Amino acid sequence: MKYLCIVYAGSGPNTLSATEQTAIKDGCIEQDHALFQAGKLVLASPLQGPEAAVSLHYRNGVASRTDGPYAETKEWIAGFMVIEAADIEEALAFASEGPLEGLVDLEIRPLLEEQHSRTGMDRSIFFERGRK
């Protein structure tokens, strides 16, 4: 089963030196490569900060946009991983390892597997394409 691991920044210390930030970045890249080589990582990426965000909202059939962070909040989504795990416990074990311990909060959520009601199509092709 596939799980989304959402990385929330802003909950841990925000006074890291440039050397500490580089060590964390390098550790995350190393962890991503190790999980990918083990067949457990589907996709992972950090995200730019909330100041680069554009929020799209629909009201009464009309779309409007807000540049920058939509809500004033101390926590923001800093990155994500899609991991392959046998169950939630294994997903939690993968997500809890690594250089982010004590610096961020993580939310682990199973991906919802759905099939089209008439054709039987699902989204599995999107995950398989990159592995061939």
Q: Is 57 exposed, middle or buried (0-12, 13-18, 19+ CB in 10 A)?
A: exposed
Average pLDDT over residues 83-101: 89
Residue 103's pLDDT is 82
Domain locations in the chain as residue ranges? 2-131
CATH code reported for the domain at 2-131: 3.30.70.1060
Average pLDDT over residues 38-53: 90
Q: What pLDDT band is residue 130 in, cutting at 50, 70 and 90?
A: low
Asked if 83 contacts 91 with a C-beta cutoff of 8 angstroms, the reply is: yes
How many CB atoms lie under 10 A from the CB of residue 50? 19
